């Protein structure tokens, strides 16, 4: 009902009489008043003027499920949304929901995370209302070995959404960091629940710095607000990312991994550069040449030998 009231108020930027709204939605004036109060409590500024009616003056920058789903227009992503003011970690909840049988496309959103998780047990700083912190459940019919391409697909989707919505160029540092002007702006964590030969489900986690203040960011990190010089409405960006993700997921299923890896190459900061890679307690240096079909990084060492790296931390030597 909140969703429908907002729909009406959004359509007409003028005042709408309480009588009109109530009749249109088939609720009592009293019922409408209660919903309006609830929306006000959530941060919506709704002006009520005698003889004129209600007008939506402003909406808060929140990722409420009903806001996200209102103009999402996806086929399956976000049809089910779990929204929280804060969570320990969206990953933990999504893994649980996945085990309980939540359908593919189920989305977990939190306005803040107490213990946001990054790759290999690292932390993702998740201050309230400043970023987008989501975990998305997917149920692809693939083997565990094919899962890394989902991380690449997610990274590509974020870069494409930045470009189409914000006209902002971003790069990907293999395997899962999104950088703008060489500073980290987003990270992706992909976890799976799988049998040896079949994935039960995958959870893609995205942590994205949007309206973070400069002083709260580490020197090597940035946020969209810092790069664009203005705040970004998170719900609009989130919708764009989810739509792009869904399109790329369909592309992956239709055309296979090569299409995604081709797109990835266009955003790759790593390829062509001299890099240092720390992996499994070892490190090597060389030229980052390409990705193989599983999404592993191919390094040409100074000896000329090629080495395939499935997991590691890359530093670009500039």
Piece of 44-52, 70-78, 195-203, 250-258 that binds a copy of itself (CB under 8 A): 195-203
Question: Would you tell me the crossing angle of helices 2-11 and 18-25 to the nearest 10 degrees?
Answer: 130
Taking the complex as a whole, how short is the minimal distance between the CB of residue 279 and a copy of itself, in angstroms? 9
Nearer Cβ to a copy of itself (193/287): 193
Q: Is 195 in the site for a copy of itself (CB under 8 A)?
A: yes
Q: Is 307 in the site for a copy of itself (CB under 8 A)?
A: no
Tokens 């977990």 belong to residue = 108
* Residue 84, helix vs strand vs coil: strand
Among residues 73, 128, 198, 233, the one that binds a copy of itself under rule CB under 8 A: 198
Taking the complex as a whole, how short is the minimal distance between the CB of residue 94 and a copy of itself, in angstroms? 11
Q: Are 209 and 113 in contact (CB under 8 A)?
A: no
- Cβ neighbours around 30 below 10 Å, total: 8
Backbone φ, ψ for residue 126 (5° rounding)? -130, 70
Q: Is 192 in the site for a copy of itself (CB under 8 A)?
A: yes
Q: Is 197 in the site for a copy of itself (CB under 8 A)?
A: yes
Nearer Cβ to a copy of itself (41/197): 197
Piece of 69-77, 164-172, 236-244, 307-315 that binds a copy of itself (CB under 8 A): 307-315
Alpha carbon distance, N-terminus to C-terminus of the chain: 55
Strands (E), 11-89: 45-49, 53-58, 81-84
Q: How far apart are CA 167 and CA 22, in angstroms?
A: 41
Which pair of structure tokens corresponds to residue 220?
Answer: 């090597």
* Residue 22, helix vs strand vs coil: helix
Q: Is 305 in the site for a copy of itself (CB under 8 A)?
A: no
Taking the complex as a whole, how short is the minimal distance between the CB of residue 172 and a copy of itself, in angstroms? 15
Q: Is 175 in the site for a copy of itself (CB under 8 A)?
A: yes
Nearest to 87 by CA among 137, 138, 133: 133
Among residues 37, 96, 253, 262, the one that binds a copy of itself under rule CB under 8 A: 96
Provide Rg for the chain, Cα atoms: 22
Q: Is 120 in the site for a copy of itself (CB under 8 A)?
A: yes
Q: Is 189 in the site for a copy of itself (CB under 8 A)?
A: yes
Residues that bind a copy of itself (CB under 8 A): 92, 95-96, 99, 119-120, 143-145, 147-148, 151, 175, 189-198, 200, 310-312
């Amino acid at each position: 009902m909140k969703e429908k009231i907002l729909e009406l108020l959004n359509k007409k930027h003028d005042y709408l009489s309480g009588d009109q709204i109530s009749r249109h939605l088939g609720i009592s004036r009293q019922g409408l008043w209660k919903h309006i109060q609830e929306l006000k409590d959530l941060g919506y500024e709704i002006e009520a003027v005698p003889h004129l009616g209600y007008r939506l003056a402003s909406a808060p920058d929140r990722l409420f499920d009903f806001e996200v789903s209102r103009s999402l227009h996806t086929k399956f992503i976000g049809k089910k949304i779990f929204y929280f003011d804060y969570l320990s970690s969206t990953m933990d909840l999504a893994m649980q929901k996945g085990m309980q049988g939540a359908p593919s496309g189920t989305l977990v959103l939190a306005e803040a995370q107490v213990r946001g998780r990054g790759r290999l047990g690292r932390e993702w700083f998740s201050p309230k209302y400043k970023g987008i912190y989501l975990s998305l459940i997917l149920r692809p019919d693939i083997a565990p070995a094919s899962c890394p391409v989902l991380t690449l697909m997610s990274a590509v989707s974020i870069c494409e959404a930045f470009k189409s919505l914000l006209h902002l160029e971003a790069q990907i540092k293999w395997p899962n960091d999104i950088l703008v002007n060489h500073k980290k702006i987003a990270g992706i964590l992909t976890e799976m629940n799988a049998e040896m030969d079949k994935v039960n489900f995958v959870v893609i986690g995205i942590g994205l710095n949007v309206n973070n203040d400069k002083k709260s960011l580490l020197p090597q990190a940035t946020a969209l607000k810092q790069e664009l010089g203005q705040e970004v409405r998170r719900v609009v960006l989130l919708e764009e990312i989810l739509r792009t993700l869904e399109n790329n997921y369909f592309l992956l299923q239709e055309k296979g991994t090569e299409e995604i890896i081709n797109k990835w190459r266009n955003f790759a900061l790593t390829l062509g550069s001299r890099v240092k890679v720390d992996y499994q307690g070892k490190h090597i240096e060389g030229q980052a040449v390409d990705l193989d079909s599983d999404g592993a990084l191919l390094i040409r060492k100074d000896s000329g030998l090629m080495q395939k790296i499935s997991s590691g931390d890359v530093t670009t030597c500039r």
